[in-house]
Amino acid sequence: MEIKNIAPVLVMSKTIETTLAQMAEAVGNLPDQMNRIIEKAGGQTAGPQIWVYHSADGTPDRPITLQLTFPLLNPIACPEGYECIMLPEYKAVVTFNNGPWNEVGKIYCEVMKYIESQSLTYTGVSREIYHVCDFENQQNCVTEIQVGIEG
């Protein structure tokens, strides 16, 4: 784990309201749709998907706001229902989960213990960057976890 200042990044974003328990159903094939929209608009992605979680505390049925974003290499005209925005600069505790997504929860627990032990303050915003997504063998997945802190 390390503390990093994450630079601002231009993204195409879609915000949805969901819960952790219903997230997979709520997201559906939205990432594929977003990729097609970016390509159709003549845009190019500049890196892996970034999911931004607002007010997620690990409680499965508590409502959260989830931003699905794709970093953009160049600005595009975003269609209705989507935004092309800059994710702001962000200070975070950063670590990785190498393996299945169902193991991410225990990584968050470790990060939150670290934040508490260092007398840091969680902002209520976290990000997951999906560097490697392998739906057939999730042991190959690599997810960067960024938990926002004040300062």
Amino acid at 55: S
Phi, psi at 5, each rounded to 5°: -95, 120
Average pLDDT of 123-141? 87
How far CA 14 is from CA of 6, 24, 92, 101, in Å, comes to 21, 15, 22, 21
Per CATH, the homologous superfamily of domain 2-149 is Regulatory factor, effector binding domain (3.20.80.10)
Domain range summary for the chain, segments of one domain joined by +: 2-149
Residue 119 has a pLDDT of: 96
Is the pTM higher than 0.85? The answer reads: yes
| Residue 13, both tokens | 């974003």
Give φ, ψ of 7 to 5 degrees. -70, 155
Q: Give mean pLDDT, residues 8-27.
A: 94
83 close to 10: Cβ distance less than 8 angstroms: no
Per-residue pLDDT, 59: 85
pLDDT digits (tens, 9 = 90+) for 72-107: 999 999 999 999 999 999 999 999 988 887 888 899
Residues of the chain with pLDDT > 90, as a percent, come to 78
